[in-house]
Amino acid sequence: MTPAPLSDSDIAARTDAYFNRTREIVAKFGDARVTYAIFLRRPVVSAPSIMVEWLQSVARARGQDFQIELPHKEGAWVGAGEPLAYVTGSFVALSDLETLALQKIGPACVAAHNAYQMAMALPNAAFLAMEARHCAGAEMQEIMAYGCAVGSRAAQAEGAKGFIGNANDWTAHYFGAPRGYGTMPHALIGYANSTLRAAEMFHETFPDEPLTVLVDYFGREVTDALEVCHRFPDLAAAGRISVRLDTHGGRYLEGLGPQESYAVLERNAPGAMRRYRSQRELNYLIGTGVSAAAIWKMREALNEAGFGAVKIVASSGFGVEKCSVMADAKAPIDVVGTGSFIPESWSETYATADIVAYDGVPRVKIGREFLLRPAKG
């Protein structure tokens, strides 16, 4: 998706004022051909395409030719401080673009890094990106989806299933999907006043679609999951039913408490309890909400009832750390629905640009010499 270029007046309104003044000064005293180096202060996965496409569109609109060099291919791991891109062109034409360009690369690279780590932590689970509702507007939504898709492809290249799609049509193309995926929100179950009835309504309306049922609305996750499976035994046997666990963090899944959670985990993943390192990891294992114990409890119940082909979709806070804990507990997750590749700390996403050459002469502020390109030959 190639972004439409903003008008010069829109760019001037959105950029930092000192860049606008710099543009005027350079235009008055004489242009120079400059090279910018763009980097982040933390390890990331390279995801530059949205920024590159935007810069190219601005260059065309301004009748300019920006040379953009990417030292790392899209999807490659990049260390802290390593340049992600070198951008060369007219100082007058480039000076007011820095602010907006940085907005388009930093967050995407951090989201890519997070998505890669999540997918690699649970390589046998498929992931569904659910970022849209957590984004501050359409531009952030697109940047997060793109970054996630880049990280996913990097993980898939190493054998992980990764992100197979997302939850909305607009950014589905980043995942190679024709449309967004999803069946029912809690609102539909509230409307039907019954988990089973909501499932029936969905199936009557979309009979050819697989059925994924949220089962936490009434706090009867196991009971409602089994009721739906008994109502649609053919779908269950064919593996076309999934139960989604999204249990609120303020309570345990039906039938669980602290002791039973511990017992479930010891039955299925002995040793996991003895490897946790923090209270948060312990909560992911046997705490409230969608814990490893909760997922194992649902798997046990489905298997005991003869519904071994029914899949489990897990959601609720599945970021890098939680995915790693689930892997240690060998949690039987078929699909993870998550938007937690969105960076938790936005300051992590801050990209920086420094000019490293003026008219071909290397020059950069003291302390940033590491950005200078190695001499050729």
Task: Tell whether 357 and 308 lie within a shared domain.
Answer: no
Distance separating alpha carbons of residues 192 and 215, to the nearest angstrom: 13
Same domain assignment for residues 206 and 312: yes
CATH number at 54 reads 3.20.140.10
Looking at the fold, whether 365 and 268 belong to one and the same domain comes out as no
Question: What is the rounded distance in angstroms from the CA atom of residue 152 to the CA atom of residue 120?
Answer: 9
Is 87 contained in some domain? yes
Helices (H) and strands (E) in the chain, counts: 14, 13
Query: What does the DSSP assignment read for 111-175?
Result: HHHHHHHHHHHSTTSEEEE--GGGSSSHHHHHHHHHHHHHHHHHHHTTT--EEEEES-STTGGGG
What is the pLDDT confidence band of residue 1, given thresholds at 50, 70 and 90?
low
- For residue 316, the domain's CATH number is 3.20.20.70
Domain presence at residue 208? yes
CA 147 from chain centre, in angstroms, equals 7
- Rounded mean pLDDT, 355-364: 96
What pLDDT is attached to residue 212?
A: 97
Task: Give the pLDDT of residue 40.
Answer: 97
Same domain, 197 and 326: yes
Per the domain annotation, does 85 fall within a domain?
yes
Same domain, 186 and 315: yes
Same domain, 334 and 356: no
Q: What value does the mean pLDDT take over residues 331-345?
A: 96
Q: How many domains does the chain have?
A: 2
Question: Where in the sequence is the domain holding 94, given as residue range(s)?
Answer: 8-109+346-371
* In a shared domain, residues 256 and 366: no
Residue 377 scores a pLDDT above 70: no
Q: Which amino acid is at 8?
A: D
- C-alpha angle 349/352/355, rounded to 5°? 165
Residues 190 and 308 grouped into a single domain: yes
pTM above 0.85?
yes
What band does 3 get if pLDDT is binned at 50, 70 and 90?
low
The per-residue pLDDT for range 82-113, each reduced to its tens digit, is: 999 999 999 999 999 999 999 999 999 999 99
300/190 same-domain check: yes
With 70 as the cut, is the pLDDT of residue 367 above it? Answer: yes
| Residue 103, SS3 per DSSP | helix
Give me the pLDDT at residue 376, please: 66
Is the pLDDT confidence value at 240 over 80? yes
Q: What is the pLDDT of residues 119-159, one digit of tens each?
A: 999 999 999 999 999 999 999 999 999 999 999 999 999 99
Looking at the fold, whether 359 and 253 belong to one and the same domain comes out as no
Residue 149 included in any domain: no
Residues 252 and 298 placed together within one structural domain of the fold: yes
**What is the percent of the chain with per-residue pLDDT over 70, rounded to a whole number?**
98
Same domain assignment for residues 352 and 284:
no
Has residue 14 been placed in a domain?
Answer: yes
pLDDT score, position 271: 87
Question: Across the chain, what does the average pLDDT equal?
Answer: 95
